[in-house]
Amino acid sequence: MKRQFLVAALLALFATAALGHDLGGLADKSITLSRDLNISALTKLANQQQDAGVRYVISRLLLWTPGQRLRACFFDGTREEKNIVVSAIGKLLDGNGINIGIEFGTGPDFQTCSGVGEELRVSFSNGCCSGFIGRTSLAPDVKNGPSIKLQGISHYSPEIAQQTVMHEFMHGLGLNHEHQSPSSPCKFKKDEILAAYGWKDKDYEINLKQLEQSSRSYIWSSYDPTSIMKYYFDSSYLVDGENSKCFSKDNLLPSKRDYQGLLLAYPQKNAQVSAQQTRAAFNIIAASGVPEQVKALARELRKVGQ
């Protein structure tokens, strides 16, 4: 049987946290987390395990548990801004069979971030637009601040505001950028982009560099130009311009393969992994040679019972 790969939206199993961006690629440099989270050492560690449950825990390190109810909160924002977010996420998840929930609390003001470990933390005053990938939002050095930034969202057209919210929250659910997929045909004019956006090489790498072809680190599909998880750069920043296979008009809603990715990440039937296997997986990470930032995240997840 032909192996089935996922997703337009490149499901991140060990992906780095996203650097801030909007869908045109404009960087908000205030959100960053070391690419040490995207490392071959952790891939190798998962492959070495004989226990399938332990291997499963390690390989899904940055994904939430299927069936989990994620707590979402707001640091600030008007009722209009909060309603834009809540409405967009309702359209993203409701009735689509994705086995994950996002709970905002009761309107009209919804839940205020309290620093007690909410998984998805929204700010409308710290830049736009950006989101940490999956459970990197719980890393010790970022867990008390915003994990999703949506400043100015109410000034967008309703369609673009909804698109942007969906994109950033899909980062929060563990999806990376489509244009960085191992199957991506995107070839960018690096020098022009660095000059136009004021980026450094590291900014370019995090936002645009193609990810390694590691089926333990990521699951991906053939390239999907309709994914909501891609940047829609002007053709002048693409090699071959409008003839580039990466060039397409803006897509305002998740594609069919975006949803396939979410369904694979959060299936209705969750794998049965014991608490002992979960503890063993975190202990293996703690005793391994992976970077300290990965160990710190593993310790944090173990502490909160994830």
Nearest-10 Cα torsion for 93, 87, 176, 227 = 80
Q: What is the side-by-side strand order in the sheet with 69-74?
A: 101-103, 69-74, 120-123, 148-150, 128-131
Tens of pLDDT, residues 124-176 = 997 788 888 888 899 888 899 999 999 999 999 999 999 999 999 998 998 87
Q: Is the pLDDT of residue 192 over 70?
A: yes
| pLDDT for residue 124 | 95
pTM: 0.82
Q: What is the mean pLDDT of residues 13-38?
A: 44
pLDDT at 306 over 80: no
Q: What percent of the chain has pLDDT over 90?
A: 30
Question: Which sequence spans correspond to the domains of the chain?
Answer: 11-303
**Domain 11-303 indexed as CATH 1.20.1250.20:** no
Is residue 174 packed enough to be buried (19+ CB in 10 Å), middle (13-18) or exposed (0-12)? Answer: buried
Q: With b meaning 16 or more CB within 10 Å and e meaning fewer, what string describes 27-57?
A: bbeebbbbbebbbeebbebbeebeeebbbbb
**What value does the mean pLDDT of the chain take?**
79
Amino acid, single-letter form, for residue 272: Q
- Inform me whether the pLDDT recorded for 299 exceeds 50: yes
